[in-house]
Amino acid sequence: MSQNENTSSTQPWTSVQAYTLAVLCLLLGIAGGWLIRGSQARGPESGVSNTAAAVPGGGSSGAEAQPTADQMKKMADTQAAPLLAKLPADPNNPELLANIANIYYDTQQYPTAIDFYQRSLKVQPSNVGVRTDMATAYWYSGNADGAIAEFNQVLSTQPSSANALFNLGIVKWQGKMDVEGAVAVWQKLLDTNPTYEGKEKVQQLIAQVRKHKDLKPGTPAKPLAE
């Protein structure tokens, strides 16, 4: 905690504070706080429904209490157990390893998810869906550089991958405060995917982010208009 915490309300905002508020507002409104998964579908062996896990960085829209970290870990271990039991007989099955990773991802056990994604990619390095999922797991675990590296790896083989381009823009913006880089990536997304279903969302992101492109870390900035 900063020793100036109690007086922060009377001090000028820094660009970091303004960016933080902008990020929160946009994530709750336009981006929804989610990166786009690479493997959208869930097979019968994944063990997790799409609604089983809490939203990273967000809250449930219902009245149910969010599970604790320990509860989420127990949930993951329980759901992964049947698949983990199959591993000794088939340790290099990339689909099995990815399904286990998905369970840990969906229950927000990101370091464990990354480990299984890496094992899957070691066997099948060309699977861009799995690599995109691993990149998002890096981001949610606080490793922006790792996420960027993996998204770029996806784009080296699939330059027009919409999911990778959308996510890379988010990470460049939020993780690196690289506004120009984010806008360039999103523009490439629009140029190479003319029928992209999230086109309007991306256009809104570009417009909003450009409003703050001149902010530099640590410099005074006015609060965003309410």
Report if residue 41 sits inside a domain: yes
Determine which of 19-23, 172-176, 191-195 has the lowest per-residue pLDDT on average.
19-23
Which range marks the domain in which residue 195 is found? 12-46+68-221
Q: What is the pLDDT of residue 75?
A: 95
Please write the tens of the pLDDT for every residue from 140-161: 999 999 999 999 999 999 999 9
Report if residue 103 sits inside a domain: yes
Please write the tens of the pLDDT for every residue from 98-140: 999 999 999 999 999 999 999 999 999 999 999 999 999 999 9
Residue with tokens 């109690």: 6
Report if residue 192 sits inside a domain: yes
Contact in structure between 167 and 151 (CB atoms under 8 Å): yes
Please write the tens of the pLDDT for every residue from 22-33: 544 454 444 445
Q: Is the pLDDT of residue 16 over 90?
A: no
Q: What is the pLDDT of residue 210?
A: 87
CATH of the domain at 82: 1.25.40.10
Report if residue 109 sits inside a domain: yes
Report if residue 174 sits inside a domain: yes
Indicate the number of domains in the chain.
Answer: 1
Report if residue 3 sits inside a domain: no
Q: How far apart are CA 52 and CA 60, in angstroms?
A: 11
Q: What is the dihedral of CA 8, 9, 12, 14, to 10 degrees?
A: 60
Report if residue 17 sits inside a domain: yes
Q: Tell me the average pLDDT across 37-61.
A: 43
The answer for residues whose C-beta is within 8 angstroms of residue 19's C-beta and 6 or more apart is: 177, 212, 215
Report if residue 94 sits inside a domain: yes
